[in-house]
Amino acid sequence: MAYLFTSESVSEGHPDKVADQISDALIDNFLAFDPESKVACETLVTTGQVILAGEVKSETYLDVQTIARDVIKKIGYTKSEYMFEANSCGVLSAIHEQSADINQGVDRASKEEQGAGDQGMMFGYATNETENYMPLALDIAHALLIELANIRRENTEITYLRPDAKSQVTLEYSDDNKPQRIDAIVISTQHDDFAPEAEMLAKIKSDLVSILIPRIKAKYPQYAHLFNDQIQYHINPTGKFVIGGPHGDTGLTGRKIIVDTYGGKGAHGGGAFSGKDPSKVDRSAAYATRHIAKNLVAAGVADEILVQVSYAIGVAKPMGIFVDTYGTSKVNLTNGEIAKKVEEIFDMRPYFIEQRLKLRNPIYSETAAYGHMGRKPETVTKTFKAPGGIEKTVTVELFTWEKLDFVDQVKTAFGL
């Protein structure tokens, strides 16, 4: 019997994502001026207020207030009526030096023996149901909000949008796990107070169905066949949504870990990404396991793969690697045998993950909204400013864990 599966996404203006983006902007600035920085930065945002807290070991000094304000401005919180505005909000920093007790478990005389920054387990997942090897419902949920943000910034077809928004997509799958159609779409978007409530809601629903959805179908033609006349649209189902952003709901770093990963598919070890430098395996090993899973699926090892790795704090070698192919394996090997080959191909010690994926670079701001996985690898040039007029321009590779650069090695190892 057919079944339904749902994933959600949130916009860059969602309070939790505002917090994530500020935390990752701090990471990027620290790494730009001192690539060996060890950083764990948490952000809280609420009405008119930003609070930064965390631990840092770095040779550089930053103007964290300016960095936070620049992020908020870029997102679009630039009007006083939002009750959270880039130039006027307070920014309180409670960042202090990293614990020497933690640092001694990470730094080693030999960089190759760098210990994991924490214990825990991390998961990577990939499926061939989309071109970017991501779960389809999440991919569409992200696409809806990326395009909604484009419409907001254009400010021509729809002129009343505000930065905060959420989406949710429910797909119908067949018995053989193939997506058949979109069953329901939920979008809640913050907006100006421009008319009586009933009139406003009717206008917003009409605009999103008649403007946003056609743009999605045109921009993502591979998904166009999934849209149909029977989709249930729930647009701002609670009513008006004028009060939003950090004024409507406090935001915290690390509260959207399923949005950041696979939308509920696969598994999650529980550790957030944003605000953590790559010595924290919560982040680096989650990227590395995604890289493994994606290359395995692209090589034809299986249609769908979950990879788990686990660590002890201060220990370089992982506790173990686990692989689940969900019964979709195309090779005559058990999941345990596949995991053994993965260990032989990919060195999962933290230092080697950092080197393989070029993680000690300022590449994290771009990850902090619309998902860390399934994104397009690209090379960009970025400029950073520090107090005293110091500038640093760097060219970096973004989303290196999405590269299919191990497919040939995987095929050779598995005889494909």
CATH of the domain at 240: 3.30.300.10
| Residue 294, domain member (yes or no) | yes
User: pTM for this structure?
Assistant: 0.96
CA angle 28, 30, 36 (to 5 degrees): 110
Q: Is residue 269 a part of any domain in this protein?
A: yes
Which residues is 186 bridged to in the sheet? 168, 234
**Assigned token pair, 126:** 């990939």
User: What's 188's DSSP letter?
Assistant: E
- Ligand-binding annotation for 101, yes or no, is no
Q: How far apart are CA 273 and CA 282, in angstroms?
A: 6
255 assigned to a ligand binding site = yes
Q: How far apart are CA 109 and CA 114, in angstroms?
A: 8
Domain boundary among 214, 245, 276: 245
Residue 153 annotated as part of some ligand binding site: no
Question: Does residue 268 sit within a domain?
Answer: yes
pLDDT at res. 388: 85
Annotated binding residue at 183? Answer: no
Q: Rounded to whole angstroms, what are the CA distances from 380 to 204, 366, 397?
A: 36, 11, 7
Mean pLDDT estimate for the chain: 95
Q: Tell me: do 269 and 369 sit in the same domain.
A: yes
User: Is residue 142 a part of any domain in this protein?
Assistant: yes
pLDDT of residue 1: 79
Task: Tell me whether residue 14 is annotated as binding.
Answer: yes
On whether residue 350 sits in a domain, the answer given is yes
pLDDT above 70: residue 5: yes
Instruction: Provide the residue range defining the domain that includes 330.
Output: 120-128+262-383+394-414
Euclidean distance between the first and final Cα of the chain, in Å?
34
55 annotated to a ligand binding site: yes
For the chain, how many structural domains are there in total?
Answer: 2
73 is in an annotated binding site: no
User: Does 168 show up as a binding residue in the annotation?
Assistant: no
**Pair (366, 291) in one structural domain:** yes
Final residue before a domain boundary, out of 213, 245, 277: 245
Is residue 152 part of an annotated ligand binding site?
A: no
Q: For residue 69, is it within any domain? A: no
* In-domain check, residue 30: no
Amino acid identity, position 40 = A
Q: pLDDT band at residue 259, thresholds of 50, 70 and 90?
A: very high
One domain, residues 270 and 291: yes
| Residue 241 marked in a binding site | yes
Is 405 annotated as a binding-site member?
Answer: no
Instruction: List pLDDT tens digits, range 128-155.
Output: 999 999 999 999 999 999 999 999 999 9
Residues 159 and 238 in one domain: yes
Query: Is 205 annotated to bind ligand?
Result: no
Asked if residue 173 and residue 292 are part of one domain, the reply reads no
408 and 298 in one domain? yes
Residue 310 lies inside a defined structural domain of this protein: yes
Type of residue at 181? R
Q: Which of 188, 220, 245 is the last residue of a domain?
A: 245
Q: Strand ranges (DSSP E) for 192-267?
A: 232-235, 251-252
Q: What is the pLDDT of residue 110?
A: 64
- Please tell me the predicted confidence (pLDDT) of residue 344: 96
Annotation-wise, does 203 bind a ligand? no
pLDDT in tens, 172-203: 999 999 999 999 999 999 999 999 999 999 99
Q: Are residues 233 and 269 in the same domain?
A: no
79 in a known ligand binding site = no
218 annotated as a binding-site residue: no
- Tell me: do 154 and 218 sit in the same domain: yes
Q: Is 256 annotated as a binding residue?
A: yes
